[in-house]
Amino acid sequence: MLYVRQVDVPKLAEKYDWEFRTKHQLGVELLTWFVKTLQTLGVEAKVWLVADGAYAARPFLLPTLDLGIVVVSRLRKDACFYDLPPKPDPHQRGRHRIYGKNKISLAKRAAHKKGWQTISYHCRGARVTRQVEGAPVGDAKGALGWCVDDAPLNFARAVTVRF
């Protein structure tokens, strides 16, 4: 798999049967191959993927979650947390809500003094101590969704680290 910019595809299409695919599409294709290979080999394992914040987008996350892969990613700069929307009323006219009413500010959440824990771990051969806040985003039931690119996704856990 090779990523080629969309502007370069017409030149390649003359000689080769080349079709443009985004980095997200190529990533999903590679993960699909990987999961199928594991299944073919009879390996039963839970796959965790650590990805850059650029891959925390719906075209990559939804197919990856459908494959049963757990994704750990930095939040994108434009990511936001809302309550889940209420169940749609079938008699209501117009578009149904896709977000809940309450938006959560991660910056305000990080500014709170409560909820922070101090942890120590080994990083590159040295002992490191950091403050971490990592409660589930939402109420006690965890009933908040994560919306990326204007679409609600799965439940999320926001972990904030102070350096």
Segment among 20-34, 99-113, 118-132 with least mean pLDDT: 99-113
Residue 31 has a pLDDT of 94
Question: Residue 39's pLDDT is what?
Answer: 93
pLDDT at 139 over 90: no
pLDDT of amino acid 150: 43
CA–CA distance, 59 with 31 (Å, rounded to integer): 13
Amino acid identity of 65?
L
Encoding tokens for residue 35?
């999961």
What pLDDT, on the 0 to 100 scale, is given for residue 142? 37
pLDDT digits (tens, 9 = 90+) for 49-93: 888 888 888 888 889 989 988 888 877 666 677 777 888 888 889
With 50 as the cut, is the pLDDT of residue 140 above it?
no
CA angle 2, 4, 9 (to 5 degrees): 125
* Structure confidence by residue, pLDDT tens digits, 5-43: 777 777 777 777 767 788 889 899 999 999 999 999 999
Q: What are the structural domain ranges in the chain?
A: 1-74, 77-163
Cα 48 to Cα 124: distance, rounded to the nearest angstrom:
21
Alpha-carbon dihedral 144, 146, 147, 151, rounded to 10 degrees: -80
The pLDDT of residue 162 is: 65
